[in-house]
Amino acid sequence: MMKMIDHTVTSFTEILASSAPVPGGGGASSLVGAIGIGLGDMVGELTVGKKKYADVEEDVKALMVRAQALREKLLDLVDGDAEAFAPLARAYGIPKDDPDRARIMEEALRTACGVPLEIMRACGEAIDIIAEFAQKGSRLAVSDAGCGAILCKAAMQAASLNIYINTRSMQDRETAKALEDEADALLKKYTAAADEIFAGVMTSIRG
């Protein structure tokens, strides 16, 4: 079966806009996160080898290695989200009088939360990396760092919705709260961090 990330941009968005259950918000958010950290990595590419930035070149190279690994991870999570959602889609089809339905549904809801939470964590790491690219990278590409930060913020916010919509249906409220608490903490920390990067970039290019 063809991977989601192997589709063209056109065909991916056509499937996204269709009634197909996947890709959905989780897969889309992971792709947006990959694009965001890709923009951060581009700042690195435009910095390395420039005499003006020789004193930070090794730092930037190290950031690029992390960014490239993170982009690959986020791309993998596009399909990972589709795989995690499949059990939940099946669970919704189980007759309500089936004695195993509640147990299967609970397991599927927990599984469906796992990948969006991974996406959120990855986007948080991406924002941390982009903050350094914005600080140390080429001034000619600083706007791309700002774009990357805001895209990763949006990806994180989108992924969080895929957690909250599932935790509200979970019977195990302790597990649901633990998932929600981590998502809340990531949102609080990294939406503020991304906004700070955006504001700094805006100030640097507009004065």
What's the pLDDT tens digit per position in 147-202?
A: 999 999 999 999 999 999 999 999 999 999 999 999 999 999 999 999 999 999 99
Give the chain's mean pLDDT. 96
Reported confidence tier of residue 207, pLDDT bands at 50, 70, 90: confident
Right CATH for 4-8+25-206 from 1.20.120.680, 1.10.287.3510, 2.60.120.200, 1.10.569.10: 1.20.120.680
pLDDT of residue 60: 98
How far is residue 96's CA from residue 88's CA, in Å, rounded to a whole number?
14
Residue 166 is classified by DSSP as: H
Q: Could you tell me if residue 49 is left (phi over 0), alpha (psi between -120 and 50 degrees) or otherwise beta?
A: left
Q: What are phi and psi of 162, to 5 degrees?
A: -75, -20
Reported confidence tier of residue 21, pLDDT bands at 50, 70, 90: confident
Buried b (16+ CB within 10 A) or exposed e, 68-95: eebbebbbbbbbbbbebbebbeebeeee
Domain coordinates of the chain in residue numbers?
4-8+25-206
Within a 10 A sphere around the Cβ of 8, how many other Cβ atoms? 8
Residue 56 is classified by DSSP as: G
How far is residue 168's CA from residue 181's CA, in Å, rounded to a whole number?
13
What is the pTM (predicted TM-score) of this model? 0.95
Rg (Cα) of the chain, in Å, rounded?
19
pLDDT of residue 193: 98
Comparing C-alpha atoms, which of 129, 155, 125 is closest to residue 28? 155
With 80 as the cut, is the pLDDT of residue 113 above it? Answer: yes
Comparing C-alpha atoms, which of 169, 180, 161 is closest to residue 107? 169
